[in-house]
Chains A and B, each alone.
Chain A
Amino acid sequence: MSGRFRTPSGGRVDRRRTIRFTFDGKSYQGFEGDTLASALLANGVHLVGRSFKYHRPRGIVTAGSDEPNALVGVGVDDAHYTPNLRATQVEIYDGLVAESQNRWPSLNFDVGAVNEVFAPFLSAGFYYKTFMWPRAAWAKLYEPLIRRAAGLGRAPEQPDADRYTQVYAHCDVLIVGAGPAGLAAALATSASGAKVFVCDEQAEMGGSLLAEKTAVIDGLLAADWTAKALADLAARTNVTLMPRTTAFGWYPHNFLGLCERITDHVAKADPKLPRERLWQVRAKEVVLATGALERPLVFPDNDRPGIMMAEAARIYANRFGVKPGDKALIFTACDSAYRAALDLKAAGVAIAAIADLRAAPGGLWVDRARAAGIDVRAATVVTGTSGRLRIDSVSLAKLGPDGRTGASETIACDLLLMSGGFTPSVHLFSQSRGKLVYDEALQAYLPGASVERERSVGACRGISDLDTVLNDGAAGGSGAAQAAGFAGALGGTFAVHTDSVGTDGFIGVTPHGGHPSKTRAWIDFQNDVTAKDVKLAIREGFRSIEHVKRYTTTGMATDQGKTSNMNALGLVSETLQIPVPQVGLTTFRPPYTPTTFGIFAGQSRGDLFDPLRQTPIHDWAVAQGAVFEDVSLWKRAHYFPRAGEDMHAAVARECKATRQAVGIFDATTLGKIEVVGKDAAELMNRMYTNAWTKLEPGRLRYGVMLREDGFVMDDGVVGRMAPDRFHITTTTGGAPRVLAMMEDYIQTEWPDLDVWLTSTTEEWAVIAVQGPLARKVLEPLVEDIDLSREAMPHMSVREGKICGVPTRLFRVSFTGELGFEVNVPAGYGRAVWEAIFAAGKPYGITPYGTETMHVLRAEKGFIIVGQETDGTVTPDDAGLSWAIGKAKKDFVGKRSLARPAMTASDRKQLVGLLTVNPKTVLEEGAQIVADPAQPIPMTMLGHVTSSYWSTTLDRSIALALVRGGRARIGERLSVPMPDGPITVELVEPIFYDPKGARLDA
């Protein structure tokens, strides 16, 4: 047995398979095929949550993804916990653990319900008005309090233990929704041979057909026809059926995001399966068959547990075999609720009465209700309800022709069903940027002109009767196939026996005669917004629905106002006495229903968060105990600590060894580009500030590259390997943008140049050997290369062999010492590195990391692009005027350097800084001012770009950009810090071996 409210038979649940689960710690039973909502209702549980603001007891309102109230947290532990799931969509399985939210200490007794007492102070925009003063209290007091008091589920604190995957897919036709329209469309379009995807958010496909008991389609009962249609589709190899898959977002050019839930409904999931899969589908044509959502009626106290949508109650009875109560009263503005009343009566629910808002309801369904002995009351409204944790009675009153309500009568019941008609689901259509058109007769927005290649079929475009829905779906399906280039799709027509329930409905607030300031009729259940709040917003001057929405928060909850938007529009329209279309319509945005972050992250977690780049020498550095840092996507050895050393000690030792003996450094991450062709030198002349024509093969030159706006973009040493061949090096992170910019000019500005670019970053391992003993280390290892001072001066390059491996050997120094950079094919990088390291052992060769590299270059005043420059620094600012080929007529950025602002004398210029106290190390990024006593905001003259402790000099050093800096050399300025100002002296930006004697050793 799975609950007192289970019907003896019927429904689509599997009564042979009992499922045990817990809700708020209490055990319940349901059947396979139940949702958490249907299983709880079968056990007589309506109260499932507390409301957002007032902590009002709330129950299950719908049977689908539009559920505003029944939000639950699901998961056995924090690593598998998902908050804010709709109980109407959660499928139960053995061992499911679910809990209610936003209540303490318990759902039945919730302390937060004290907010009800303060309700008069919690009206629309209360947080804008109430918590204004004192200002400091907002962050410390009000906001935390409000956040704790108001809210939905709690976020889990453990990392998500589940896996998520992402798939790209293409199809000819994507059909969203597998109700009658969607299935008919799928049958028609797939008959053409087109590749068809059909997705539906529910576990079982069929939509409204699954709750249909009497309709007959082509001679089959609706359920049998649905089974046959699904079997037909499943047998077609060109059709992919995707249940439990929500089309949540529409992106440009028919690109849709689909979330497939794979294991959430399974007790013991195959560990190889992901929890969810993100489908990114590019469809030639899209058919929207998204159906319609029933609207609540807005009347006083319409939010108690036990008040639900009439059609939802019908679905629980017909599809799940669950009676949502013993005795129901029905409040309606349309015929479909009569159909629900009759089905519920057949399921064993007593119908107390049908209160019909309409003055003179009539026709087939009304007659049938009367014939069944149901008390049908025309022109009758609900004026109030009672019952604390569950509705126990309803007050009805007659509605006079003048709109006034008469005396009220109280009727006992444990279920109140409401129906204000149906709202077409135009969310995805609107996301596709299609224009919505208001239909006065239907009181609904319908899809108008398309922007994307799509069409809407069935209830989502305002068609409601089953026969027309099926035929519309078939026509849309064949139309989509034809539009996708597949002829021969047959629309066909269906022979359907069913009875129309018409299209009546109501939007806004039903008349209730209650005192306007004392009655509360909920429009938005999830955000706790009442009609009173909306009216207050209008009184305070808000007119556009966009403003009313933001001020009252109506429609801004996680359900995006699926049940509330039209009623809010109706109320604003009525209050302002303007037509609905003039009130406007808020924008529908993705996701259609809340979607996990997991599917967007996919596999990009932990080590896979970003691509990782490692040099061939990486593992050697790991074995040596190097500490790494991230430089763009590269892992670079930051320093090599020995036992007991901190970074400071390691860097001091590495610097000293390199200055006094020899150091070895992995410079493989430098970007490298090979420039080849008859016009290679011409391209270099145009791209770099320097002059290249006269650079002899075998020589190196430091090159500076500007953007066309004149600011430094990149720098690096360039070798001329042959008259028509250059070997460019770039900054570690800069290679892609340098290559892209050069390609841009070659392809689009100078296609006449005969020159080709190849990225060689990954081809070469680069081993920097630096220090006075560097030559001694390398000499025994090289063949065919004379390393002597005379034969191979500073800034030259030779090709030959090292350790038997081809090399481009650069004599170059980023340390200020005698230095070489050994380029070898990357595959030999590790072997050559180890050979050099072994050869250097007798000389005390010391591996150093990027921190030591930084200190050594700063001692020499060598800039780093991106540290001394920030996209607003000219070559002159950085002290690189010498690198500009003055005789060149043009190069990228040259004209910009002549603009007045670029030559102003008060530009920020590179200088060195020495703290007056040599032990003080400045903070990089710290501001520089003339007068630290000046009131804030002080006049900022510049900032510190690089700052280190220099072991070589036994004091701190820094580089800075300072306004008119070069003219200020010798002056003292201040660096204000929290502990007080630091006095610094401006010096030339070079601290060690200014003549460069050591380079030429």
Chain B
Amino acid sequence: MLLITCPHCGPRAELEFSYGGEAHIARPIDPTGLDDEAWATFLYKRSNPKGVHAERWRHLHGCGRFFNVLRDTISDTIVTTYPAGQPRPALPSDGKENAR
């Protein structure tokens, strides 16, 4: 069971949270302006990386707030967590091609 640090409440066990899919996929401001391909990409295409993944979690059985997590999908290590709406933090390994 993962240990997840809610940016608002601190470290808590995974069972207090619900998973919310990949982070930083904003709903288009004007969906009608998008062609089918672009809309389908928004709906369905996800990066599914082997390595650090930015994802949304909600502290469902706690403060109830959504926030973002950088998690390494290989080791399950949580690199950092940050409130919803903040940009993805830069990592030392960024820039190297798929560091892992």
- Residues of chain A touching chain B, judged by Cβ–Cβ distance below 8 Å, are 168, 251-255, 280, 282, 433, 451, 708-709, 740, 743-745, 747-749, 751, 889-890, 894-896, 898-900
A896 to B20 Cα, complex, angstroms: 20
Contact of B2 among A252, A280, A748, A894 (CB under 8 A): A252
B75 proximity list for chain A (CB < 8 A): 433, 451
B40 close to chain A: CB less than 8 A: yes
A896 CA / B1 CA spacing, docked (Å)? 36
CB distance from B5 to the nearest CB of A (A): 11
Q: Mark B31-45, 1 if CB is under 8 A from A, else 0.
A: 110101001100100
| B65 proximal to A (CB < 8 A) | yes
Q: Which residues of the other chain, A, contact B85 by a CB distance below 8 angstroms?
A: 748, 751
Residues of A within 8 A of B2 (CB): 252-253
Q: Is the CB of B18 within 8 A of A740?
A: yes
A253 with B36: CB separation less than 8 A: no
**Which residue on A lies nearest to B25, using beta carbons?**
A748
B26 sits at the interface (CB 8 A): yes
Chain A: minimal CB distance from B76 (Å): 4
Inter-chain contacts of B34 with A (CB < 8 A): 895
Determine the distance from Cα of A896 to Cα of B40 in the docked complex, in whole angstroms: 8
- A749 lies within 8 A of B36 (CB): no
Q: Mark B1-39, 1 if CB is under 8 A from A, else 0.
A: 111000000000100001010000011001110101001
In contact, B65 and A747 (Cβ under 8 angstroms): yes
Report whether B31 and A895 are in contact in the complex, using a CB–CB cutoff of 8 Å.
Answer: yes
**Other-chain residue from B26, B32, B60 in contact with A890 (beta carbon distance below 8 A):** B32
Chain B residues with CB under 8 Å of A740's CB are 18, 58, 60
- How many inter-chain contacts with C-beta < 8 Å in the A-B complex? 60
Q: Give the chain B neighbours of A280 by CB distance below 8 A.
A: 1
Does B56 belong to the interface (CB within 8 Å)?
yes
Q: Is the CB of A282 within 8 A of B43?
A: no
Tell me which of A280, A451, A900 has the highest count of chain B C-beta atoms within 10 A of its own C-beta.
Answer: A451
Contact flag A895-B39 (CB < 8 Å), given A751-B85, A889-B32: yes
Q: Mark B50-81, 1 if CB is under 8 A from A, else 0.
A: 00000010101000111000000001111000
Q: Are B76 and A747 in contact (CB under 8 A)?
A: no
- Residues of chain A within 8 A (CB-CB) of B30 are 890
Number of interface residues of B (CB under 8 A): 28
Alpha-carbon gap, A899 to B77, bound state (A)? 39
A168 cross-chain contacts in B, Cβ below 8 A: 13
Residues of B within 8 A of A747 (CB): 65-66, 84
Considering the chains assembled together, what is the distance between the CA atoms of A899 and B40 in angstroms? 9
Known contacts: A253-B2, A744-B20, A748-B85. The answer to whether A896 contacts B26 by CB under 8 A is no
CB distance from A617 to the nearest CB of B (A): 28
A282 and B3 form a contact (CB under 8 A):
yes
B90 to chain A, nearest CB (A): 21
Chain A contact surface mostly: mixed
User: CB distance B76 to A744 under 8 Å?
Assistant: no
A-B contact pairs, 16 of them (CB 8 A): A252-B76, A255-B1, A255-B3, A282-B13, A433-B75, A451-B77, A743-B58, A743-B66, A744-B66, A747-B84, A748-B66, A748-B85, A751-B85, A889-B32, A890-B31, A896-B39
A900-B36 in contact (CB<8A): yes
CA distance A882 to B75 in the complex (A): 50
Residues of B whose CB lies within 8 Å of any CB of A are 1-3, 13, 18, 20, 26-27, 30-32, 34, 36, 39-40, 43, 56, 58, 60, 64-66, 75-78, 84-85
Contact A899 B39 (CB under 8 A): yes
Task: Point out which of A253, A280, A749, A894 has the most chain B C-beta atoms below 10 A from its C-beta.
Answer: A253
Q: Give min CB distance, B6 to chain A, whole Å.
A: 13
Question: From A736, which residue of chain B is reached at the shortest CB distance?
Answer: B60
Q: Judging by beta carbons under 8 Å apart, are A708 and B76 in contact?
A: no
> Which residues of B lie under 8 Å from residue A894 when comparing CB positions?
31-32
Cβ–Cβ contact A709 & B1, under 8 A: no
Q: Across the interface, which residues of A come within 8 angstroms of B3, CB to CB?
A: 253-255, 282
Task: Given A751-B85, A900-B36, verify A253-B76 contact (CB < 8 Å).
Answer: yes
Cα–Cα, bound, A334→B36 (Å): 72
Given contacts A252-B1, A282-B3, A751-B85, contact A896 B43 (CB under 8 A): yes
A709 contacts B43, C-beta separation under 8 Å: yes
In the complex, how many angstroms separate the beta carbon of B75 from the nearest chain A beta carbon?
A: 5
Contacts of A889 in B (CB 8 A): 32
Closest 9 CB pairs of A and B: A895-B31, A253-B3, A252-B76, A747-B66, A255-B1, A749-B27, A748-B84, A748-B66, A451-B75
Contact between A749 and B26 (Cβ–Cβ < 8 Å)? yes
CA distance A896 to B32 in the complex (A): 9
Residue numbers in A under 8 Å from B65 (CB-CB): 747
Q: With CB as the reference atom, state the residue of chain A lying closest to B31.
A: A895
Complex: A751 Cα to B31 Cα, angstroms: 18
> Bound complex: CA of A890 vs CA of B33, how far in Å?
11
Residue contact A743 to B39, C-beta cutoff 8 Å: no
Task: Kindly provide the distance from the CB of A172 to the nearest chain B CB, expressed in whole angstroms.
Answer: 14
Q: Closest residue of chain B to A739, judged by CB?
A: B64
CB neighbours (8 Å) of A748 from chain B are 56, 66, 84-85
If A433-B75, A451-B77, A899-B40 are given as contacts, then 5 extra A-B residue pairs at C-beta distance below 8 Å, sorted by A number, are A253-B3, A253-B78, A740-B58, A743-B64, A748-B66
CB-defined contacts of A749 to chain B, threshold 8 Å: 26-27
CA distance A282 to B12 in the complex (A): 11
A886 to chain B, nearest CB (A): 13
Nearest residue (CB) in B for A757 is B64
Min CB distance, A750 to chain B, in Å? 9
Residues from chain A with Cβ under 8 Å of B40 in the complex: 899
Which residue of B is nearest A251, CB measured?
B1
Closest to A708 in B: B43
Complex contact A253–B84 (CB within 8 A):
no
Complex alpha-carbon distance, A433 and B78, angstroms: 15
Chain B residue nearest to A255 (CB atoms) is B1
Provide the residues of chain B in CB contact with A895, threshold 8 Å.
31-32, 34, 39
Please, how many angstroms separate the alpha-carbon atoms of A740 and B75 in the complex?
A: 29
Determine the distance from Cα of A745 to Cα of B56 in the docked complex, in whole angstroms. 13
CA distance A890 to B78 in the complex (A): 36
B-chain residues with CB within 8 Å of residue A890 when the two chains form the complex: 30-32
CB A213 to nearest CB in B, in angstroms, measures: 44
A702 CB, min distance to chain B CBs, angstroms: 24
Residues of chain B within 8 A of A254, CB atoms compared: 3
Complex Cα distance A280/B36, Å?
A: 48
CB-nearest residue of chain B to A252: B76
- A320 → chain B, closest Cβ, in Å? 39
How far, in whole Å, are A900 and B39 apart by their CA atoms in the complex? 12
Chain A residues within an 8 Å CB radius of B39: 895-896, 899
